[in-house]
Structure 1
């Protein structure tokens, strides 16, 4: 579901999130803020000049020609402006509400730029296999720093798919699902400033960017600090365990 009010009621967000496994919050950032972060994202990637391409091996069957992708883990450790977004109450209050908790803890972040004309897709998958947790109180927020229509390879989701729990994934380049078919997922076109929240059990992916403009997003993965991981993964992520809202009542180590 798409929430269109300027500042939606958190209880309504939580209800829709529970039913569908995701919610698209319109205009969480202003257009000006989104443009500012878009420029900082591209400047940061240009300055660091990383050459690695995280395109999944399984993505090759989704495009007619080889595709490309730029990314950066933990942008907040390279530019303090991103750290501000991590603790912005506009984000953290929604994250807490949809998880049904008071406390929100950072797991990791990723900056993604899909280049124009051949920006890499992501096959349908759950995030659960990458960092499984005991009670599944783990979520993601995708900040859109520019418009993401279907032709830019916007995110697609399968509504209600989180209710089936963890699914078996094929490991080919990275985890992906053989079912459902990609076209069965519902596109979630977004505008600059919109933020898509979803559970790590929600089946999702994204298409190829065939437009003449880049698609720029920042992914924040977060969790309830009272939900312990079942496997120690992503322990190299900078800042994992940082409290974004509230406190950590467990006293555990960060990872």
Structure 2
């Protein structure tokens, strides 16, 4: 059983993130790892490319080749990833940092950074992608591999969530929007690396400035990310970033959801 201490909860409030170990058993990690590799091998196609484009990214990689493969809505590809959404240790931890037992799914995704050419992600907040009124949104970043700056690990500006929504200087390239803050004002070099062991989970607010380094090592960096919100929160822009299964109640209840006509006709 993993339950956050008052000191850990205060750390999250102060810094906008926390790293937690022991959420998944060794058997669960082995199952996730095996299914992760099967899924990415099976789905391998050009549409999985998820590296950001634009001049800022070109500057970040000095013109080198770079790549990241992604799969979204993993619970619709495999029950293994659906089971992880109901991990009691994970939900206990989320309840501690979110301050509510009424926890809803927003979306899931996984990024695979290949060795030697793994792309970085510039410092950004997740807020511009899906702004919510009460800012309850958090991400649970599950490390399938050990991660550090050498293989493209996560980095964070501690306490940046207290700044609120920051200016977005991102771009739109080939119809895709990339949101990030000014790299000169918030360079990745000044961020705090989050060195994590295999199985560690980093939970951070969607207002926390975060990014990740290039993977120039011989090791891959695999992660599975779950984005969640409180049931009493609501989007500032309805219909933005709609994902499969969004609003799925993972713990507690959702007394704020209204029945609609589609639901009535199901009975």
How would you bin the TM-score normalised by the shorter chain? over 0.9
Query: Is 2:59 aligned against 1:55?
Result: no
Residue 253 to residue 91, structure 1, CA distance change in 2 (3 Å): farther
> Once the two structures are superposed, what CA deviation does each residue of 1:140-164 show, in whole Å capped at 9, x if it has no partner?
0100011112201110000000001
User: Given the alignment of the two structures, is residue 176 of structure 1 paired with residue 180 of structure 2, yes or no?
Assistant: yes
Instruction: Give the Å deviation of 1:128.
Output: 0.3
State the partner residue of 2:147.
148
TM-score, normalization by structure 2: 0.89
Q: Please point out which of 226, 234, 252 is paired with 2:241.
A: 234
TM norm structure 1: 0.93
Q: 2:249 aligns with which of 202, 224, 243?
A: 243
Work out whether residues 14 and 100 of structure 1, in 8 Å CA contact, stay in contact via their aligned partners in 2. Answer: no
Shift of 1:115: 0.4
The CA RMSD measured in Å over matched residues stands at 1.6
Distance 1:160 1:252, change over 3 A: farther
Secondary structure of 1:216's aligned partner: strand
Contact 1:35 1:192 in 2 (8 A): no
- CA separation in 1, counterparts of 2:241 and 2:103? 17
The aligned residue for residue 220 of structure 2 is 214
Larger radius of gyration: 2
Deviations 1:39-92 (A, max 9, x none): 211210111223121111143222131201110001111100111110111111
Worse overlay, 220-229 or 24-33: 24-33
Find out whether 1:9 has 2:16 as its counterpart: no
- Whether the 8 Å contact between 1:159 and 1:186 is mirrored in structure 2 is yes
Q: Kindly tell me: are residues 187 and 252 of structure 1, through their superposed partners in 2, closer, same or farther at Cα, counting changes over 3 Å?
A: farther
Confirm or deny: 8 A CA contact 2:3 2:92 kept in the other structure.
no
Q: How many angstroms apart in 2 are the aligned matches of 1:253 and 1:61?
A: 49
| Stretch of structure 1 that moved more, 207-216 or 35-44 | 35-44
> In the alignment, what sits opposite 2:80?
81
In structure 2, the residue corresponding to 1:17 is in which secondary structure? Answer: helix
Q: Does 1:114 align with 2:120?
A: no
Aligned to 2:160: 161
* 3-state SS of paired residue (1:110): strand
The size of the alignment, in residue pairs, is 248
Runs of 4+ in 1 over 4 A off after TM superposition: none
Q: How far apart are the structure 1 equivalents of 2:145 and 2:188?
A: 23
Residues 29-48 of structure 1 deviation map (CA, whole Å, 9 limit, x = unaligned)? 23443233122112101112
Alpha carbons of 1:253 and 1:105: their partners in 2 closer, same or farther (altered >3 Å)? farther
**Structure 2: unaligned runs, 5 residues or longer:** 173-177, 261-267
User: For the residues of structure 2 that align with 1:38 and 1:17, how far apart are their CA atoms?
Assistant: 28
